[in-house]
Amino acid sequence: MKFDPQKHHRRSIRLKGYDYSQAGAYFVTIVAWQREMLFGEIVDGEMILNRNGRIVRDAWFDLKNHYRYVELEAFVIMPNHAHGIIVLIDDGRGGSFVSGGTNLPEDLIAGATPLPAKQTRPYVTAKRHGLPEIVRAFKSFSARRINRLHRTDGIPVWQRNYYEHIIRNERKLDNITRYIESNPSMWNDDDENPNRQL
């Protein structure tokens, strides 16, 4: 099929004009390709990860090794999607938790990596990537590893886009954290559950 820009355009779901590389907390939901149940199953309200799910978990927590200004908060893998909170900390290169109306608790800032004693300019060799690049890397790292496991190079694992929400205060952070932590116990009513009872 030939590409038709009128039919095949991708509408951005990002907040127009918002700088997604600035410090702040972001809630993300990333859904498996065609909502396929790839990552395990819910048993008695608890998520049991399969090998694919363990790869996704490891790729998520590996993000801190690639992006020194990233802190990871609540996270859950579901059978066909994942929810998590990514915090971009202020690494001394501009931006802060209070810019853009964001107001986060001090303990989220406390995890910032201090500069080495002889370093005078913060992270001069590391480019600061925004949330879209970090999510893209997570999806790419995990998809490549899953495909390598199954010897299926290039097979989609994730949908092309993802949902994000800017967390603007501690109350929202608490609410979203509770939602993420209780997600497996609410699987029977989850919109992403193909076997949900209506």
Please, are residues 60 and 82 in contact by the beta-carbon 8 Å criterion?
yes
Q: How many CB atoms lie within 10 A of CB 79?
A: 25
Over residues 30-75, the pLDDT tens digits come to: 999 999 999 999 999 999 999 999 999 999 999 999 999 999 999 9
Which residues, other chains included, contact 39 with Cβ-Cβ below 8 Å and sequence gap of 6+? 32, 49, 50, 52, 53, 56, 77, 78, 79, 80, 82
Which DSSP letter does residue 121 get?
S
pTM confidence score: 0.75
* Contact by Cβ (8 Å): 18, 132: no
- CATH architecture of the region 24-113+125-187: 2-Layer Sandwich (3.30)
Q: What average pLDDT does range 163-176 have in this prediction?
A: 95
pLDDT in tens, 127-150: 788 999 999 999 999 999 999 999
